[in-house]
Chains A and B, each alone.
Chain A
Amino acid sequence: MSKAAECKCASSRQVATGDRAILPEGAKTIPIYVMGKKYEVPETLTIMKAMEFAGFKFLRGCGCRGGICGACPTVYRKEGDYKLYFGLACQTVVEPNMYLAQIPFYPANRAVYDIEKIEPAAETIHALYPELFRCVACNNCTKACPMGVEVLDYISALKQGDIARAAQISFDCIQCGLCASRCMGELPQYHIAQLARRMYGKYIQPRALHLEKRVAEIESGKYDSMLDSLMKMSHAELEKLYKEREREPDMSAPGAWMPKDTQYL
Chain B
Amino acid sequence: MKVSYYPGCTLKTKAKNLEDGAVASMAALGVEFEELPRWNCCGAVHSLADDDLIHQVAPVRDLIRAMEQGSEKVVTLCSMCYNTLARANLLMREDETKRNTINSFMNEEKDYHGEVEVVHFLNFLRDTVGWEKLRSSVKVPLKGLKVATYYGCTLVRPRNVAIEPAGEQKIMKEFLEALGATAVGFPAETLCCGSYQILANPDAALDVSATILDGATRAGAEALALSCPLCEFNLGKTQEELLGKGKISKEVPVYYFTQLLALALGLGGEVCRFDLNDKLSAEFLKGRNYPLEAVA
Contact = CB atoms under 8 A, between A and B. Distances in A.
Contact of A136 (B9, B58, B108): B58
Interface stretch (A36-44, A149-157, A174-182): A149-157
B40 interface: yes
Interface stretch (A70-78, A95-103, A137-145, A242-250): A137-145
A23 interface: no
A11 interface: no
Given A137-B40, A139-B108, A160 B12 contact: yes
Interface string A157-171: 001111000000000
Nearest to A160: B12
Contact of A184 (B12, B40, B54, B108): B54
Given A160-B12, A184-B54, A135 B41 contact: yes
Contact of B13 (A122, A139, A142, A156): A122
A142 B55 CA distance: 18
Contact of B12 (A136, A150, A155, A161): A161
Contact of A156 (B41, B54, B105, B108): B41
A160 B61 contact: no
B204 interface: no
A122 B10 CA distance: 11
Contacts of B108: 139, 142-143
B57 interface: yes
Contacts of B57: 136-139
Nearest to B16: A161
A150 B38 CA distance: 10
B106 interface: yes
Given A156-B39, A160-B12, A161-B13, A139 B55 contact: no
Interface residues of B, number: 17
A82 to B, nearest CB: 10
Interface string B6-27: 0101001100000000000000
A155 B38 CA distance: 11
A137 B39 CA distance: 10
Contacts of B9: 156, 159-161
Contacts of A155: 40
Contact of B58 (A137, A142, A161, A162): A137
A143 B43 CA distance: 20
Contacts of A138: 54, 57, 105
Given A156-B41, A159-B41, A136 B106 contact: no
Contacts of A135: 40-41
B141 to A, nearest CB: 35
A138 B56 CA distance: 10
A187 to B, nearest CB: 13
Contacts of B55: 136
A123 B14 CA distance: 10
A152 B12 CA distance: 17
Contacts of B58: 136-137
B272 to A, nearest CB: 20
Nearest to B60: A137
Contacts of A123: 13
A111 B229 CA distance: 29
Nearest to A184: B54
Nearest to B47: A136
Nearest to A150: B38
A153 B106 CA distance: 15
Contacts of A137: 40-41, 43, 57-58, 61
Interface string B44-84: 00000000001101100100000000000000000000000
A143 to B, nearest CB: 6
A134 to B, nearest CB: 11
A139 B40 CA distance: 10
Interface string A105-149: 000000000000000001100000000000111110011000000
A139 B12 contact: no
Nearest to A143: B108
A156 B40 contact: yes
A147 to B, nearest CB: 16
A137 B57 CA distance: 7
Contacts of A152: 40
Q: Which 8 A-B pairs have the closest CB atoms?
A: A137-B58, A156-B40, A161-B13, A160-B12, A137-B40, A159-B9, A160-B9, A161-B12
29 contacts: A122-B13, A123-B13, A135-B41, A136-B43, A136-B54, A136-B55, A136-B58, A137-B41, A138-B54, A138-B105, A139-B57, A139-B61, A139-B106, A142-B108, A143-B108, A152-B40, A153-B38, A153-B40, A156-B38, A156-B39, A156-B40, A156-B41, A160-B7, A160-B9, A160-B12, A160-B13, A161-B9, A161-B12, A184-B54
Interface of B: 7, 9, 12-13, 38-41, 43, 54-55, 57-58, 61, 105-106, 108
Given A137-B61, A139-B106, A161-B13, 16 more contacts: A135-B41, A136-B43, A137-B40, A137-B43, A137-B57, A138-B54, A143-B108, A152-B40, A153-B38, A156-B9, A156-B39, A159-B9, A160-B7, A160-B12, A161-B12, A184-B54
